Amino acid sequence: MQILSINSGRPETITIGQRVATTGIFKTPIAGQVHVSTQGLVGDTIADTAHHGGIDQAVYLYSAEDYAWWEAKLQRPIPFGTFGENLTLSSFGPQPLRAGDRIAINAVLLEVTFPRIPCSTLAARMSDATFVQQFIQARRPGAYTRVLSTGDLQVNDPVTMEYASPGFPTLTELSDLWHDRDRHPDLLRKGLNAPIAERFKAIFQQWLERGSTPSDSVAHED
């Protein structure tokens, strides 16, 4: 496993339905060495800080294997960075990613915290109003991570996985749980016992206590 692309973005405008917003989703590959801080890639843009970024969503990862799947489905080439990921890895390895998995790259140590929850920004980026539902159904969400150790990265750096407890939920389980209208309490507790992002942990706790439906607490994500 290795880094195939490091992607960064500058603020750009995007039309989402009837509104125009500023976004950092338009990421393109960059050359040379990049520093990773606890807030993410230095120089990258996070436009909507209310819903994106922060220490629990500092670095977003996607894999070349997932890109190949999307290219086959959409019947067109898709450049790395299109999904807004900071790092495109050659693979996520033989096991499904789960909360708590750790990814070591040089001195950098990342910890998986949650899957990507798509919204209308991604649909607008893909110029397809149906893409949110396609992304959910594909069950290839990529991984948000927190930065446990900072450092420098560059393309072709080797990647090592440190797998978490098999008792922690996989990212596909967490994604399904987020979008399901009938959330089983045991699955919510499984998520709460894992090192998921704190903002999602708070929502899971609310759902567990209130038995809420998705419309009650679902936050805007992308």
Instruction: Give tens-digit pLDDT for 105-122.
Output: 999 999 999 999 998 889
Contact between 98 and 171 under an 8 Å Cβ cutoff? The reply is yes
- 113-163 tens-digit pLDDT: 999 999 888 988 898 989 999 999 999 999 999 999 999 999 999 999 999
Q: Read off the CATH number of the domain in which 29 is found.
A: 2.40.33.20
For residue 46, being part of any structural domain is answered with yes
- 179-201 tens-digit pLDDT: 988 888 999 999 999 999 999 99
For residue 209, being part of any structural domain is answered with no
Residues 9, 140, 145, CA angle at the centre, nearest 5°? Answer: 55
For residue 11, being part of any structural domain is answered with yes
What angle, 0 to 180 degrees and rounded to 10, lies between the N-to-C axes of helices 198-210 and 185-192? 150
Residues 6+ apart with CB under 8 A from 43: 8, 34
For residue 28, being part of any structural domain is answered with yes
For residue 213, being part of any structural domain is answered with no
Domain that holds residue 45: 3-167
For residue 57, being part of any structural domain is answered with yes
For residue 206, being part of any structural domain is answered with no
Look at the chain and report how many structural domains it folds into.
Answer: 1
Q: Say what the alpha-carbon torsion angle 92, 37, 141, 157 is, to the nearest 10 degrees.
A: -30
**Residue carrying structure tokens 């069950």:** 139
pTM for the predicted model, two decimal places: 0.89
Rounded to whole angstroms, the Cα distance separating 108 from 102 reads 10
Rounded to whole angstroms, the Cα distance separating 145 from 162 reads 13
For residue 132, being part of any structural domain is answered with yes
- 13-50 tens-digit pLDDT: 888 888 888 887 889 999 999 999 999 999 887 766 56
Backbone angles phi, psi at 206, to 5 degrees: -60, -45
CA within 13 Å, CB half, 218: 15
